[in-house]
Amino acid sequence: MEPIDALNEIATLLERERASRYRSKAFRAAAAAIDGLSREQLADAAALRRRKGIGDSSFAVIQEALAGEVPRYLAELRGSEPAPVPALRARLRGDLHSHSEWSDGLTSIDLMVDAARALGHEYLALTDHSPRLKVARGLSAERLRAQLELIPAFSGEGFTLLSGIEVDILDDGSLDQETELLAQLDVVVASAHSKLRMDAGPMTRRLVAAVSQPHVDVLGHVTGRLVSGSRGLRPQSAFDARAVFEACAANGVAVEINSRPEREDPPDELITLALDAGCLFSIDSDAHAPGQLGLLDEGAARAERAGVPAERIVTTWPLALLREWTSRAR
């Protein structure tokens, strides 16, 4: 196989399993370092060793690929046969929650777009974080405006990159970005990232106020829980879920089924409650790297087990219908 393909596949698999971001970034950097090199240049081992971005592991991968082998590290990561893909996965046309290196994502926008295209997406919303989330390099209004100028260049040939934001829900339910700027975006995902242990009453009022804002399209990872992973465990927030989901249904806001395995958010019983309340849903990857866009398999499996009808999942809709929904009267 081609060395650059081997390096990129390794990075993708590391991202999919949510390994150390430094490991996946190292293989992405190595792929970038050899992009455009001829096989003769790649075969010059001494020069390759001196090239910035090439470490011992990536050098070994390149050498094994040049020798016509599947690199050993790649073979290990590929491992056993993948889990069966749920039938609902084939109905998904896109993803409304993803991040780039503009906030806390690992890669550039173009690599996220390339991965989305490779998965057959018709659309992807770029939803980097908002200003208050400083740990995630949230975008100020000025930085978001600068990003918006770049978005149109990534669309074409059957694919659309949608402008968006994952806007922080503030303590009183207001949103962490200028209202006029939110109005310009294709997709607004609203999520709580702080004070997740609020008492149930204030948290309920906070979430209801957020989904009642005129520009919100998706309520992201509603309980904030973590059930596994390197960040440790976190219990779900306490709130009146029926009241929140009824507010979502009344305002046409989709409840996100977050595909990250460490979240499994909402829990199964809350998906059932949201179904009963008449909610729409959005199956999203919450990807912070290209390989994580494939996590939609996980969200589709959860939605399928819960019996969520495909027609109530906005990410199964064609782009024209999706745009009609996001431009609805509020």
DSSP notation for 289-314:
SGGGGGGHHHHHHHHHHHT--GGGBG
Do 196 and 171 form a contact (C-beta atoms < 8 A)? no
Q: What is the pLDDT of residue 92?
A: 98
Residue 79 phi/psi, 5° resolution?
Answer: 55, -140
How far is 260 from 194, CA to CA, in rounded Å? Answer: 19
How far is 288 from 26, CA to CA, in rounded Å? Answer: 16
- Pick out the chain residues at pLDDT < 70: 19-20, 80-83
Secondary structure (3-state) at 139 = coil
Q: What is the pLDDT of residue 230?
A: 79
Q: What is the pLDDT of residue 17?
A: 80
Of 279, 150, 128, residue with least CA distance to 207: 279
Domains of the chain: 3-78 (no CATH), 87-326 (3.20.20.140)
Q: What angle do CA 241, 244, 246 make, to 5 degrees?
A: 105
Long-range contacts of 8-11 (CB under 8 A, 24+ apart): 9/74, 10/61, 10/71, 10/73, 10/74, 10/77, 11/289, 11/290, 11/291
pTM, full prediction: 0.85
CA distances from 274 to 197, 234, 303 (A): 22, 22, 12
Could you say which DSSP state residue 60 is in?
H
Q: What is the pLDDT of residue 28?
A: 93
Q: What is the pLDDT of residue 231?
A: 82
